[in-house]
Amino acid sequence: MSDSLFLASSMILALIILLPLLFHLTKHLGTSSDNVRKNEPVEGGIRLTHKDSFDSFNVKFFLVGIIFLIFDVEVLFMFPWALNLRELGLFALME
């Protein structure tokens, strides 16, 4: 058996054995909480209210999201440019 096949099969076997064992140990050795308040989605003292999903929200969050998307898309276009910068030379900087 080749070394890479042996290594791959032993890693898969280790995952098959270790993952269920770790999940089992975590479930039985970890602390459990039967408190109803602990099972709520928010523990910080904020009461959850069921409001309409079309409520207004602060525009700052929208602006931060739009600015993030603009710079994220810009990085997608700059990545190939940065890879070819050495080949293009001064022409790439002028453009």
- Predicted pLDDT of residue 47: 63
- Phi then psi for 40, rounded to 5 degrees? -70, 155
Provide mean pLDDT across the span 74-93: 80
81, 92 contact by CB (below 8 A): yes
CA 68 to chain centroid: 16
Confidence of residue 82 (pLDDT cuts 50, 70, 90): confident
pLDDT digits 0-9 by tens, 37-51 = 666 666 566 666 666
Ranges of each domain in the chain: 1-31, 58-95
3, 10 contact by CB (below 8 A): no
Model confidence, pTM:
0.33
Confidence of residue 17 (pLDDT cuts 50, 70, 90): very high
Query: 83: closest CA among 92, 94, 95, 73?
Result: 92
- Bigger pLDDT: 73 vs 52: 73
